[in-house]
């Protein structure tokens, strides 16, 4: 009896929801000797990088860069506008909503948590009621997560702004776009977002190590009224830098900037609308496969309603410990790495082994997604995990028809031509 050889040799595929796959061009741009940080190319690149970051964020206002991960951006953003003892409202729709809230607790804020569970988007009516109850406007900010990477839900950020306006509540709208930026449609200015945080290692396709805080004049006015902001987290010098070191409050993340420059060029060359559309079609191919597999089996997507699913990440479950078995098999046998389930069951709870996630953010294309799905199906076959038939056909059909179909994004993701102009950023930096 002949044994199938191991099929993991060849280019691996890291399909976890961050860090995402890095384009060769980004890696090549980073492969260089240490550059001069006092004059020359890198220094000259900076205004363009700031302007292009704002284009991706769809804002004409301010941006600050931090050497840090997404958690650093959370702390940086909060530190500029929330003083100890002040209240924030946290509508959590997964692990990362709680994380944003925990960061606020850590800087001394009083956190009012509304937990929408692990498989649903924010309920805007519930948030409206909480805001309406706050007659004295003690809530200084609402901390929302656009795409919660644990549950893979996408939240209606524009709808949240409408709620704040309808209630007449002045709280800042602060949004975590760490998973979604450069994947799911996000329109900072058009949606009335005051503060947005993101990282470089997901949709922006750069190795972990930089994060970004975007803010508007409303948020800056709140910043100016703060009793004290730590020198390091202060976004003011970073966003109005006149000398290179001020962007980073010290030495620049030199090689990240070279990688970021190329990544931003790639996004703008493709076009941000096209980037969103690509993620939309690829995600729909994954969902179509999951629907087919799930017929007559235990495979389920975490978010039932497609309108509430992110196009950057898909959170799934199988029966028993089959999620972990499948992850282990495709990694060892095919060189395909799937994401662990996060926040769905406690550490140590055997139920954790049912859950897993697919990262499909950033530098991903049609053949990669078909390979991902084919690899998953091979794994289920090899392991004797039951699955419904026709999944790969269904996915291929979505990809084949992607140019005309599959772009029907949720209502709040609708294309708005009015905000389509990429000509922002008279570069206040």
Ligand X SMILES: *Cc1c(COP(=O)(O)O)cnc(C)c1O
Residue 236 Cβ vs ligand X, minimum distance, rounded to whole Å:
23
Of the ranges 65-73, 82-90, 133-141, 233-241, which one interacts with ligand X (CB under 6 A)? 65-73
Question: Does residue number 179 form part of the binding site for ligand X (CB under 6 A)?
Answer: yes
Q: To 5 degrees, how large is the angle CA 298–CA 300–CA 305?
A: 145
Q: Which has the closest alpha carbon to 65: 82, 43, 50? A: 50
Question: Does residue number 203 form part of the binding site for ligand X (CB under 6 A)?
Answer: no
Q: Interface mask (CB under 6 A) for ligand X, residues 68-107, using x and -? A: -xxx------------------------x-----------
Neighbours of 383 (CB within 10 A): 14
Residue 405 Cβ vs ligand X, minimum distance, rounded to whole Å:
28
Residue 115 Cβ vs ligand X, minimum distance, rounded to whole Å:
16
The rounded distance, in Å, linking the Cα atoms of 343 and 95 is 5
Of the ranges 63-71, 124-132, 238-246, 336-344, which one interacts with ligand X (CB under 6 A)? 63-71
Of the ranges 129-137, 143-151, 328-336, 409-417, which one interacts with ligand X (CB under 6 A)? 143-151
The rounded distance, in Å, linking the Cα atoms of 173 and 160 is 8
Can you list the positions of beta strands (E) in 276-409? 300-301, 313-317, 336-340, 355-359
Q: Interface mask (CB under 6 A) for ligand X, residues 312-331, using x and -? A: --------------------
Question: Does residue number 253 form part of the binding site for ligand X (CB under 6 A)?
Answer: no
Which lies closer to ligand X via its Cβ, residue 154 or residue 299?
154
Q: Which of 144, 145, 193, 281 binds ligand X (CB under 6 A)?
A: 145
Alpha-carbon distances of 175 from 94, 148, 255, 342, rounded to whole Å: 14, 11, 27, 20
The rounded distance, in Å, linking the Cα atoms of 246 and 339 is 37
Which lies closer to ligand X via its Cβ, residue 76 or residue 147?
147
Phi and psi at 29, nearest 5°, equal -65, -30
One DSSP character per residue, 194-224 reads: SEEEEESSSTT-S-SSEEEEEE-HHHHHHHH
End-to-end CA distance of the chain: 68
Question: Does residue number 178 form part of the binding site for ligand X (CB under 6 A)?
Answer: yes
Question: Does residue number 216 form part of the binding site for ligand X (CB under 6 A)?
Answer: no
In the numeric block, the tokens 């078909």 are attached to 370
Eight-state DSSP code of residue 411: G
Question: Does residue number 176 form part of the binding site for ligand X (CB under 6 A)?
Answer: yes
Of the ranges 64-72, 116-124, 375-383, 417-425, which one interacts with ligand X (CB under 6 A)? 64-72
Question: Does residue number 394 form part of the binding site for ligand X (CB under 6 A)?
Answer: no
3-state DSSP: the chain helix, strand, coil percent, rounded to 5?
40, 15, 40
Question: Does residue number 186 form part of the binding site for ligand X (CB under 6 A)?
Answer: no
Q: Tell me the number of residues near ligand X by CB under 6 A.
A: 14
Q: Which of 199, 209, 359, 362 binds ligand X (CB under 6 A)?
A: 199
Residue 223 Cβ vs ligand X, minimum distance, rounded to whole Å:
22
Q: H-helix or E-strand containing 90?
A: strand 87-92
Question: Does residue number 149 form part of the binding site for ligand X (CB under 6 A)?
Answer: yes
The rounded distance, in Å, linking the Cα atoms of 89 and 21 is 34
Interacting residues toward ligand X by CB under 6 A? 18, 69-71, 96, 145, 147-149, 176, 178-179, 199, 208
């Amino acid at each position: 009896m002949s044994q199938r050889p191991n099929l993991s040799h060849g280019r691996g595929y890291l399909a976890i929801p961050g860090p995402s796959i890095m384009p060769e061009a980004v890696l090549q741009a980073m492969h260089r000797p240490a550059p001069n940080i006092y004059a020359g190319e890198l220094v000259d690149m900076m205004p363009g990088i700031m302007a292009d970051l704002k284009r991706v964020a769809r804002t004409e206002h301010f941006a600050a860069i931090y050497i840090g991960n997404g958690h650093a951006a959370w702390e940086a953003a909060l530190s500029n506008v929330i003083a100890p003892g002040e209240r924030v409202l946290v509508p959590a729709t997964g692990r990362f909503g709680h994380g944003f809230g925990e960061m606020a607790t850590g800087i001394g804020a009083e956190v009012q948590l509304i937990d929408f569970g692990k498989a649903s988007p924010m309920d805007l009516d519930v948030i409206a009621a909480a805001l309406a109850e706050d007659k004295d406007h003690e809530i200084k900010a609402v901390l929302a997560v656009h795409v919660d990477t644990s549950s893979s839900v996408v939240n209606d950020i524009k709808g949240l702004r409408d709620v704040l306006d309808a209630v007449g509540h002045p709280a800042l709208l602060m949004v975590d776009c760490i998973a979604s930026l450069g994947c799911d449609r996000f329109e900072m200015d058009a949606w009335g977002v005051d503060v947005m945080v993101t990282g470089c290692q997901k949709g922006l396709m750069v190795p972990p190590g930089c994060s970004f805080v975007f803010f508007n004049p409303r948020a800056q006015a709140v910043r100016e009224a703060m009793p004290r902001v730590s020198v390091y987290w202060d976004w003011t010098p970073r966003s109005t830098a006149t000398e290179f070191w001020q962007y980073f409050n010290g030495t620049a993340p030199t090689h990240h900037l070279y990688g970021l420059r190329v990544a931003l060029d790639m996004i703008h060359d493709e076009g941000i609308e096209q980037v969103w559309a690509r993620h939309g079609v690829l995600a729909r191919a994954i969902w179509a496969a999951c629907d087919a597999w799930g017929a007559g089996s235990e495979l389920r997507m975490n978010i039932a309603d497609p309108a509430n699913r992110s196009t950057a990440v898909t959170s799934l479950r199988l029966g028993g410990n089959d999620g972990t078995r499948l992850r282990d098999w495709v990694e060892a046998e095919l060189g395909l790495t799937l994401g662990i389930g996060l926040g769905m069951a406690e550490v140590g709870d055997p139920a954790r082994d049912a859950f897993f996630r697919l990262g499909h953010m950033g530098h991903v294309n049609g053949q990669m997604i078909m390979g991902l799905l084919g690899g998953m199906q091979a794994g289920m076959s090899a392991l004797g995990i039951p699955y419904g038939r026709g999944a790969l056909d269904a996915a291929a059909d979505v990809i084949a028809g992607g140019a005309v179909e599959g772009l029907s994004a949720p209502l709040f993701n609708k294309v708005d031509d009015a905000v389509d102009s990429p000509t922002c950023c008279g570069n206040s930096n």
